[in-house]
Amino acid sequence: MEAYLDNSATTRAFPEVADLVARVMTQEYGNPSSVHHMGVLASERLFGAKETIANTLKVDPAEIVFTSGGTESDNLAIIGAARANAWRGRHIITTSIEHPAVLETCEYLRREGFEVTLLPVDETGVVRLEDLKKAIRDDTILVSMMLVNNEIGAIEPVEEAGKLIKSINPQILFHVDAVQGYGKLLIRPRSMNIDLLSVSSHKIHGPKGVGFLYIKKGSKITNICFGGGQQKGMRSGTENVPGIAGMALAAKMCYSDLEGKVKELYELKEYLMTSLSERISDIRLNGPAARDGAPHIVSVSIKGLAAETILNMLSSKGIYVSAGSACTSNNPHVSDTLKSVGLPKDLLESTIRISMSFETTREEIDYLLDTLESQVDTMRKFYRH
């Protein structure tokens, strides 16, 4: 048996999505910038995808810009907003638990002369609004905050933050990295005062290498990619039509009966967290309570064992999880998120992330639990960290 429980790293494409991608690649393969029939078909695919995605957010299709994924969307949003608004100020606010695509982009801007404030979080990984309020200055031009933390599943108070930011200064742009939240949570950028929203396709059962950035009409942002002037000059380069078509279909499928699917996922998450506590000794569950966090992410520290040791054992049994996040699993530095929530030093390198999807089954969770229960105590005798 196999149990794929690393869905926050990437998801398996829905079969319908894979079929559509293949069809577009082999039958509707024209360049959307071409004026002949095949080009028109491709262009129509792009417009249809924009309409589908815009409908999941209740925004204007013209406000959707296609990218190569979440990282590019974050880069375009943050660098584009910073450069376009530098004349007003050079202060940017973000949080200490952001994805590297945000933190490293902000660090790049710091080297360009911008000032960056990192907001702390509480022990559950949630930003305090009073800290955000204190951090906003007259020269603040951008606030960037993730919707769902990719390591511990904390849901940030994005709607409240947007309201606060705009009440202090409506000109401050509010960027939200929704890579882990889109397709799992209902997002309404207009009512939430979000100006820029980043999304990645492969987190929602779509193809890899494609994503989008929502840019609210009127937002001051400049392009950072130059070339053929596609997408009204905001993101040059021939559009990935098969990937975009697949992403739009995946989005539509995720948001179909979202409430029912999320309800089942929360029930599975609660079962997993309760069972871990009851069946595995000397562990710590990190982040918010089951219903307070995202429905698909569980972070657990297994005392006395290195995460790498646990991962290797589980992988040998056909169970796939990650250490913290996929983006930090191959990086030797300790997770900034886990340090930010005050995880004890002896647990920082003993933490694994279990991430589910709408396709995850109770049988997969039971297989994980049975394996951990049968292996952990024995492993502690031989591989104590």
CB 250 within 8 A of CB 204: yes
Position 373: which residue type? E
Is-catalytic flag, 327? yes
- Report DSSP letters for 198-265, one per residue: EEEGGGTTS-SS-EEEEE-TT--------SS-TGGGTS-S---HHHHHHHHHHHHHHHTTHHHHHHHH
- The helix (run of H) or strand (run of E) holding residue 141 is strand 140-146
Q: Closest Cα to residue 94, out of 129, 111, 119?
A: 119
The Cα–Cα gap between 225 and 5 comes to 35
Q: Which of 106, 225, 254, 327 is catalytic?
A: 327
The Cα–Cα gap between 371 and 123 comes to 29
Opening angle at CA 26, ends 214 and 12, nearest 5: 55
* Antiparallel, parallel or unpaired: β 351-355 and 297-302: antiparallel
Coil/strand/helix, residue 107:
helix
Provide the annotated active-site residues. 327
